[in-house]
Amino acid sequence: MAKTTPPVKLNEKVELTISKIRQNGMGLAFADDKKQYPVYLADAMLGETVLAEIIQVDKLSAYGRIVSWVEKNPERIDANRAYLLEAGTAPLVNWAYPAQKAWKQSLVKENFAASGLDVQVAEAVTMDEDVPSYYRNKTVVPVKWQGGKLLSGFYQRGTHELVPMEDYFVNNKRLDEVIVIVRNILEKLQISAYDPDTEKGAIRYIMVRRGYYSKQLMVVLVSNETTLPKRDELVDEIVAALPDLTSLVLNKAPKKDYVQLSADNETLYGKSQIEDSLLGKRFLIGPNSFYQVNPVMTEKLYQTAADLANLKESDLVVDAYAGIGTIGMSVADRVKQVIGVEVVPGAVADAQKNLALNGIKNATYILKDAPEQFVEWEAKGVRPDVVFVDPPRRGLTPKLIEKTALMGPDRVVYVSCNPLTAARDCALFKEAGYEIKGPVVPVDQFPQTAHIETVTVLKKKR
């Protein structure tokens, strides 16, 4: 076999033109005339010509760092936040917001076209601000002793080097303040932090959640160890420093278990959950609860999904991947009945509490894997009018799509956080007898990042 020599070398500086923006927001340029050897670049925009230094090389591709711009995209801005690019937390921060919206719309169109679906894609539903920022109501931040100081921030791509950060730009500002306060207390008390090189130390992350309407505050110390040194002193210091603290929790999540948060929570102070509102409904939120992180846009997302579903008072609605019940409960007063299914026990327990909290009588939540439950419902003759699905980034399984089609709902409303898997799954729904009705609607839950949510309505063919 002939030896393949990459067209670029490590540390070489080359002039490149950005021909595509990838799904993760990274720029792609080709280093060879045949356009077979890609170079990936952060902080790039379509059509730009850049001078790049090659920082990583293998046989198939390379990574570069932009040294200077020969020709800039006219919609480039300077947000003066290079640290966000270094950590990869806000890859579009130097894009004017209209350019972010336009790219996300085109990305959705491209993903659906790649799955053989010619669809209309609406303009993205967005926040009202010209520069949407400081919107997240939850953050999980690693801490590490580095250079004799306890730092909080994010790890640099592909390394164990922590990029210090105190202004995350996308978090509610109170969250950023709380991270610094708690970190400083941990440093003052000389509490150990998990070191990925030695695989030893206690605190892995500080997690903060805050109710958008309630202003209730939860702090979670995610620990590699089951006991905290100086525990009582630590709790007293944090409680004294945070007058708005509602809940302080220790989450025991050893790194060897390869989970960010485990289900093993111990309440150190206050309540085990906080409360917030969404579209007029109240929800209890714990450390592990799946609850959308941009409250303003979550209301717009669920309102969009409900409106596009064309709900009727006579409808039986199935809420799959129900989580703590947010979608189902938000539409319960518009339909006859909601039945939700969720595989995570804690989420179902929370959903049942939330039903009681809101006095909702026409909804129930079942603990089961959705495809299995769909088989049971189909066998019992359950025929929903509408099925809402809101899966994780990996999307739906072919089995769930098959079982959904067997129940024969008139409409399937697919809420997705990944247009790539949404497009793939919608193509499978088409094979199962469903067609996309109306435009796919992007909803920008995560400005400054490469993520985009979509709402797609599929209607049963007659």
Q: Which two tokens stand for residue 196?
A: 């990925």
Q: Please tell me the distance from the alpha carbon of residue 49 to that of residue 356, in angstroms, as a whole number.
A: 58
Nearest CA to 434 among 410, 459, 416, 411?
A: 459
- Tokens 């993520």 belong to 451
Q: Provide CB contacts within 8 A for 218, sequence distance 6+.
A: 207, 208, 209, 210, 246, 247, 248, 249, 273, 274, 285, 287
Do 429 and 398 contact (CB within 8 A), yes or no? Answer: no
* 301, 417, 432, 452: the active-site residue: 417
**Helix, strand, coil tally for the chain in percent (to 5):** 25, 30, 40
E-assigned strands of 101-258?
138-146, 149-155, 162-164, 203-210, 217-223, 245-252
SS3 310: coil
Q: Which residues contact 359 (CB under 8 A, 6 or more apart)?
A: none
- Residue 348 exposure: Cα atoms within 13 Å on the Cβ side: 16
CA distance 372 to 20: 41
| CA dihedral for 176, 178, 183, 184, sign (positive or negative) | positive
Length of the chain: 462
| Count of C-beta atoms within a 10 Å radius of residue 58 | 8
CB 194 within 8 A of CB 186: no
User: Smallest Cα–Cα separation from 206: which of 258, 256, 150, 246?
Assistant: 150
Judge contact between 362 and 337, C-beta under 8 A: yes
Query: Is residue 426 annotated as part of the catalytic site, yes or no?
Result: no
E strands, 234-309, are 245-252, 265-270, 274-278, 281-285
Instruction: Catalogue the active-site residues.
Output: 417
